[in-house]
Structure formats: C-alpha cells, structure tokens
C-alpha cells in the first residue's frame, strides 16, 4: 500500500507514538495514509484504540525488523 507521510516513532514509549501520530494526522487531509514505525510494545494496543476513538482506519500492520509498521488512513 502507498502512503502519503511517514512517522518514525521508533524508540519512543507510550503515549508518545500515538501523540505524534495525532499531531501528524491533523495536518493531513481525509483519506491520506500515514505510515508509522514504532518499537513500543504497547503500540500494538494503543494504535488500534487511537484509530477507533479518533475515527481513523487502521489500514494495515506489518513487522519491519524490530519495528511494527502501522498504516493509518485519516478519517
């Protein structure tokens, strides 16, 4: 899947990855996709919860080395 912006949140701990994603998504238009990389183990729970609460779609997840990749489509 293609994405419009990328956020490298590797090394950041909860709640920073979600807070940085929220800030980045605010500057994007509806339907655009943010690719976020995170190494925080809590992101597996935090990112889907954030998407659900904020009205965004979690378009995909994957592992990339030691990081998890989250594709978030702005709602």
Q: Cite the active site residues.
A: 14
SS3 48: helix
Burial class of residue 10 in the structure, from the number of CB atoms within 10 Å of its CB (0-12 exposed, 13-18 middle, 19+ buried): middle
CA 11, chain centre distance (Å): 14
Which residue, 66, 67, 13, is CA-closest to 35? Answer: 67
């Amino acid at each position: 899947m293609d994405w419009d912006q990328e956020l490298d949140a590797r090394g950041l701990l909860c709640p920073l990855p979600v807070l940085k994603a929220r800030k980045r998504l605010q500057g994007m238009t509806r339907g655009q996709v943010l690719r976020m990389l995170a190494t925080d183990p809590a992101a597996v729970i935090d990112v889907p919860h954030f998407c659900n609460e904020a009205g965004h779609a979690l378009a995909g997840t994957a592992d990339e080395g030691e990081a998890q990749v989250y594709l978030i489509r702005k709602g």
